[in-house]
Amino acid sequence: MAAVGAAGLLGLGLYLAVPAAAAKPSPSASPTASSSAAPDRHKHRHPRLHAARGMRGVHGEMTVRRDGKFVEMAWQRGEVTARTGTSLTVRSADGVSWTWSTSADTKVRKNRAKAALGDVAGGDQVVVWGDRSGTARTAKIVRVPGAKDRPRPTPS
């Protein structure tokens, strides 16, 4: 009976350990001084915008800690459907439309260069980051990606 119990525990241990070990990739060799490592061209980009570039999501909200307080933030990727002097309406691919209030503090980048909110036109594809309070969203960053920044279609 003890042998059966020991075999069962051994089997359970292997059942749990083997998939966990397989999920951890082995470390790759570190680059040497002779390798031609490309410079980190993303080094100086804004981390939130860099993260948004690689994501496939269209909009989202999160709670973060800023200056010791919890703050709600939101981001959205989509098409500008309306723009006034103090607001920007963006519609995501899934049909969600959010209106973002803007101010003189809203940072705008178009084709990787500093721009003004007036440079953002209806139909532009944008990524917007900002604060959320209740249902109000305040844009802190509006980015109109250039052709190099747009995601490439995946081969089928």
Tally of CA atoms within 13 A in the half-sphere of 114 that contains its CB:
3
In a domain? residue 49: no
- The number of distinct structural domains making up the chain is 1
In a domain? residue 33: no
Let me know if 124 is exposed, middle or buried by CB neighbors in 10 A (0-12, 13-18, 19+).
middle
pLDDT in tens, the chain (156 residues): 555 555 555 555 555 554 544 444 555 555 554 444 555 555 555 555 555 555 578 899 999 999 999 999 999 999 999 998 899 999 999 999 999 999 999 999 998 899 998 999 999 999 999 999 999 999 999 999 876 555 555 555
In a domain? residue 67: yes
In a domain? residue 45: no
In a domain? residue 128: yes
Could you tell me which residues come within 8 angstroms of residue 46 by beta carbon, excluding any fewer than 6 positions away?
141
Contact 78, 91 (CB under 8 A): yes
- Domain extent for 74: 58-144
**Which of 82, 90, 96, 68 has its CA nearest to residue 139?**
90
CATH code for position 82: 2.40.50.320
Residue keyed to tokens 């292997």: 14
